[in-house]
Amino acid sequence: MTPRPARIAAAALLPPLGVYLEEGAVRPFQLACGLTLLGFLPGAGYALWRLFQRRKLMSA
């Protein structure tokens, strides 16, 4: 199962929002916020990785 295009766009453009939409305000969201504050690319990379990793685990 692939993620919805809107969530992929949210994770790429606003990384914490993408993680929040997928998992809520839990530890991964806080980590995405911290990584985004350190730099946009680490935050976006983590958000996209988290989005696709979660979908892979749910379909297995």
Confidence category of residue 1, pLDDT binned at 50, 70, 90: low
User: Nearest 5°: phi and psi at 3?
Assistant: -65, 155
CA dist., res. 40 & res. 15, Å (int): 8
Q: Which tens digits make up the pLDDT trace of 19-35?
A: 998 888 999 999 999 99
Determine the pLDDT at residue 29. Answer: 94
Tokens 């806080």, residue located: 30
- The SS3 of residue 30 is helix
CA 17 → CA 35, 43, 59, distances in Å? 13, 11, 23
Angle separating helix axes 15-23 and 27-38, nearest 10 degrees: 170
